[in-house]
Amino acid sequence: MGDSLRTSILSLLLGLAGVAASGVVPTSAVAQDSADFRAYLDSIRPKARAMGIRDATLDSVFATLTPNPRVIQLDQNQPGGGAYSPIPNFEPYRVKHVDAARINRGRIAYRTNRARLARIEAETGVPEEIMIAIYGHETNYGSYTGDFDLIRSLATLSWEGRRRTLFEPELLATLKMLDNGVPRSRLVGSWAGATGYPQFLPSVYLRLARDGDGDGKADIWTSEADALASIANYFVHSGWRAGQPWGVAVNVPNGFNRAAITARTQPTRCPRVFNRHSRWLTMAEWRRMGLSPAAGSWPDDTVMATLLEPDGPGKTAYLLTGNYRAILDYNCSNFYALSVGLLADAVKQ
């Protein structure tokens, strides 16, 4: 079906346009839409079979699926910032996301899980407090993980086609999870496919989810042990370096020559994130340039870091290590990564 026809049908589904004078969507449009959706599901069967997914699994789930107009609406309404649109200050975000309630709940989760956290850190090198901070940021320590049917949502978004290259692999991964024995009742989450306590995409679950409590399952939906072990495994694969902090808050001296620290390479991904960072220098070099820690002590002199001033000159700045880049791998947003680091520090205090 052509893009213009698909757009027209989706508009009918969403109630945004094309409604007949009586207010009733024409039966022919609904029927054509349903046929096109079924044709799309049939078209991905060869890809599913190539992944070892059984026809019986596909038959059982495809028969129940219909498009979900709500997820299309949510996807199309996503805010987008252009390459040159203004970036707000970090402080209002920090106040909202590293608040007393989230810190206190994090400390409770930290104390409750200390034994397993210590074991996971010993095995992986990922700090206990980083695991807890991710858990807290993603689902507020498991209090809300989303209630969208993942298969229906991802099938709808894949069929709609605007971002098929993103959503179709996640649909296939979700079908693989179902075929592997994950109950359909577990396959719920955000409208865009994130699921469980760590809000893993299905493809990430298949690669990196781990059994943390020894029951032979990687249950990231009800087992905190499995969720925390899976988060740690994610960071291991993102290159976390044991023994290094994520970063340190610093004071930048007046008259600091920022032109001298401009990055010399163009980022290949997340340009709005990485273009805000300076070039890499050692902690010793930063210290010689007059930067001083806002509190506490410096990391080792040889540790490499970039400078980020998220609220502009004269405000708190951060020297960020390679481990900060591992947090960005989880969610490529400076505000997110800074908040994870700051929450982790507060939880551990």
> What backbone phi and psi angles, to 5 degrees, belong to 307?
-100, 135
pLDDT at 44: 97
> 171 φ, ψ to 5°?
-60, -50
On the question of pLDDT at 28 being above 70, the answer is no
The percent of residues above 90 in pLDDT, for the chain, comes to 83
* Digit-coded pLDDT (tens) for 289-319: 999 999 888 899 999 999 999 999 999 999 9
pLDDT at 82: 54
Q: How far apart are CA 267 and CA 152, in angstroms?
A: 35
The average pLDDT across 29-54 equals 88
Give residue-wise pLDDT tens across range 208-238. 999 999 999 999 999 999 999 999 999 999 9
pLDDT in tens, 75-96: 998 765 555 568 899 999 999 9
The predicted model gives 47-68 an average pLDDT of 96
Close Cβ partners of 115 (under 8 Å, ≥ 6 residues apart): none
Six-digit token pair at 270? 């997340």
- What does the pLDDT read at residue 32? 59
* Cα 13 to Cα 33: distance, rounded to the nearest angstrom: 9
The CA distance from 43 to 159, in Å, is: 10
What the block records as the tokens of 54 is 């059984």
Question: Residue 84's pLDDT is what?
Answer: 56
Q: What is the mean pLDDT of the chain?
A: 90
Give the residue-averaged pLDDT of 54-64. Answer: 96
Q: Is the pLDDT of residue 139 over 50?
A: yes
Name the β-bridge partners of 281.
Answer: 305
Q: Is the pLDDT of residue 338 over 60?
A: yes
Sign of CA dihedral 64, 174, 332, 93: positive
The answer, yes or no, to whether residue 2 has pLDDT greater than 80, is no
